[in-house]
Amino acid sequence: MTQQIGGTWDSALSAEEFAAVKAVGFDPVGLVLGTAVYNIGYSGLWGCPGAWSVTGGAKVPASKWTSSLSPLVSAMYAARKLALARAVTECRALGGDGIVGVRLHVAGFQAESVEFTALGTAVRARSRVRPPQPFTSHLSGQDFAKLLDAGWVPTGLAFGIALDTRHDDWRTSRRVRWTAGNQEVDGHTLLISHVRREARD
């Protein structure tokens, strides 16, 4: 909590972050939180992806990658965007120009539900010029100050989400047994590499 003439308000900034933000011409105006609880039930995935599929009456091996999780990915994007938008709405209500130190968090809620939250500190520039839309940034107060000192301004938080599955073939299954010894499970390495590339894209 921080007390200033005219009222008391809260902030997620450390003392060092607070000082850094103030030093570059911004005043913290309050803690903001956006949240959204989503029921995650339908993934769009049926059967065992990457095993076998039937095409034209003939059984053929399916691709080791499947994009059938797109409904789940869409829900994940929508939930995060909604939580972030609600935090921005709170920022605007406080007269803020942006949010510093945004933390996106995902946690189980009830049964199949998941809670998505966006938490950060709203800041207001000591300037007559107001941006049309509050910015969002995951940068700490010190990193935010360094960015501004270098002549850059944050505009928005960017994130990528990717989900995929890979059918474990006989080689992968043999490499995860307790008798397999210490070795790379290259099928799992490929899966992680593929998903991270998709998220970056």
> What's the pLDDT at 33?
96
Q: Which residues of 140-179 are buried (b: 16+ CB within 10 A; e: fewer)?
A: bbbbbbeebeeeeebeebeeeebbbbbbbeeebeebeeee
Question: Where along the chain do the CATH 3.30.110.70 domains lie?
Answer: 2-159
> What's the pLDDT at 27?
93
Q: pLDDT by residue for the chain (201 residues), tens digit each?
A: 444 445 677 888 899 999 999 999 999 999 999 999 998 776 665 555 444 333 344 433 444 444 467 788 888 899 999 999 999 999 999 999 999 999 999 888 877 788 999 999 999 999 888 888 999 999 999 999 999 999 998 999 998 988 888 777 777 777 777 776 787 788 888 888 988 998 999
> What's the pLDDT at 61?
43
> What's the pLDDT at 45?
57
Answer whether 100's CB lies under 8 Å from 25's CB.
Answer: no
Tokens in use for 61? 């091996």
In DSSP terms, which residues pair with 60 in a beta bridge?
Answer: 53
Contacts of 187 (CB under 8 A, 6+ apart): 166, 168, 169, 171, 172, 175
Contacts of 43 (CB under 8 A, 6+ apart): 68, 69, 71, 72
Give the residue carrying structure tokens 């107060």: 141
Q: The pTM is what?
A: 0.77
CATH fold of the domain at 2-159: Translation Initiation Factor IF3 (3.30.110)
